[in-house]
Structure 1
């Protein structure tokens, strides 16, 4: 086998909830078949186990998905934009999305301004949806009294519902997926606002991928996402299609905040959910 025939690796980690993994695998199977027909060697199965940095820096990477903030801040010289999915979730507008500001269903507060000196739950500081977009919406840098770092959007939601934190910004696609496939996760919450729209989590390939490979990826994704045989999988994943955005679209992502609220601790919680976008 020649080096050119070695299958490129693939991963779709950003919304890889256990409840929809069958659909993610079905989507990739359809994309891989179309790539093979176009002469592009693709791994037959997705990598569901490697760390995000390992996935995004793999020299054999063919297709993955990343959050816009790490793409812009860290991986721009390693990754190339392929296409941005359109999701059918409240808060999405074409290939753009936002975060939903969630609080306890039975708690006080009707807008972000009511949560001055509150404790916010944050999945991780590098998350566009969980912190960067929220920080950009704050009236002042030291608005919150403290922050609870949870590691995942689902855990931020659980922390708010349990009273361990007062408010969290949740990727609207994650929220919609959990609302559909894990309704108990959203039952004790209510939405009081949204962050500004931002370009969605893009599909990417390695930076040095050939132009023909990028075009084959775009064609395979578009074809699979229009295939009637994948209607059930698309509905489970909430994906409607893809659009091609440029580097300038992602340059509009807010800057990483210079300061963060002091951390607080809470009982540990490990969630069976996807990485925090």
Structure 2
């Protein structure tokens, strides 16, 4: 083979990777170091096209649907609704955070620290804020929790969208809303890094548990690539050198769950609808 022919051999173009679900500024360095370790291990395994850096500026929902998605973390609710056929689950993280049990997590239903509310039923007619209509912990789990208390399809006086768990927490702490449901891992991170804000609310109740936010890749990703991805994840989970990074991220490891594991997410929606509460209202 000539030099020219060798030079013409195509190389795999790097795809995109992101870890957007807990991407607080205080965790950016830890996420970057974690990805560097993952990318290095995949490169050593001979995998081409591994991105050197995480993508931080892409809209998460758009990247989840992109054909060049290498790895990202999504929410369990879009996984079982809008992302059907677009992604494959690579692994489910385990977190060391109150509210987590293995690779399952819960939503914390929070009210202001000085609120006199003691029971969920007392929130009837109150101002609710959610991070988004496609959120499992912020909307779907909350809907399931209050569904038995709803009357004629309504429970809250109003429902506003904040755009993120941090903004929802701030709304409750500052009195702009009465209640929100916050992902328990997010709450743990904010309790560590934004203690003054977290102390402005208290946990009134916890939701049912569902699997933690899954790591996903594009549906077209081949099985060999997924196997290398999973091996790299297990390697960084076991590395003593990366223990401080995992501690910063509250990361305990990764589980490989069967596809049916996330059916509990859509099951919560079905249960609420079955008792006359199909929409959070």
Please report the TM-score for the alignment, with normalisation by the length of structure 1. 0.91
| CA distance in structure 2 between the partners assigned to 1:156 and 1:204 by the alignment | 26
Alignment of 1:186-225 (within 5 A): 186-225=198-237
| CA distance in structure 1 between the partners assigned to 2:45 and 2:9 by the alignment | 17
Which residue of structure 1 aligns with residue 3 of structure 2? Answer: none
| CA distance in structure 1 between the partners assigned to 2:11 and 2:46 by the alignment | 10
2:67 and 2:220 in contact (8 A); partners too: no
Which residue of structure 1 aligns with residue 21 of structure 2? Answer: 14
Structure 2 residue runs without a partner (length 5+) = 1-7
Alignment of 1:23 with 2:33, yes or no, is no
Query: Residues 148, 8 of structure 1: CA spacing in aligned structure 2 closer, same or farther, 3 A cutoff?
Result: same
Query: Residues 164, 247 of structure 1: CA spacing in aligned structure 2 closer, same or farther, 3 A cutoff?
Result: same
After TM superposition, what 4+ stretches of structure 1 lie above 4 angstroms from structure 2?
A: 1-4
Please report the TM-score for the alignment, with normalisation by the length of structure 2. 0.89
The counterpart of 1:181, out of the listed 166, 171, 193, is: 193
1:30 and 1:224 in contact (8 A); partners too: yes
Count of residues in correspondence between the two structures: 261
Q: Which moved more, 1:102-111 or 1:26-35?
A: 102-111
| CA distance in structure 2 between the partners assigned to 1:241 and 1:209 by the alignment | 22
Greater Rg over alpha carbons, structure: 2
2:93 and 2:251 in contact (8 A); partners too: yes
| CA distance in structure 1 between the partners assigned to 2:279 and 2:67 by the alignment | 34
Instruction: Note the alpha carbon deviations across 1:239-262, whole angstroms, 9 max, x for none.
Output: 01000112211111122763343x
Query: How far is the alpha carbon of 1:83 from its aligned partner?
Result: 0.3
| CA distance in structure 2 between the partners assigned to 1:245 and 1:237 by the alignment | 21
Which residue of structure 2 aligns with residue 56 of structure 1? Answer: 64
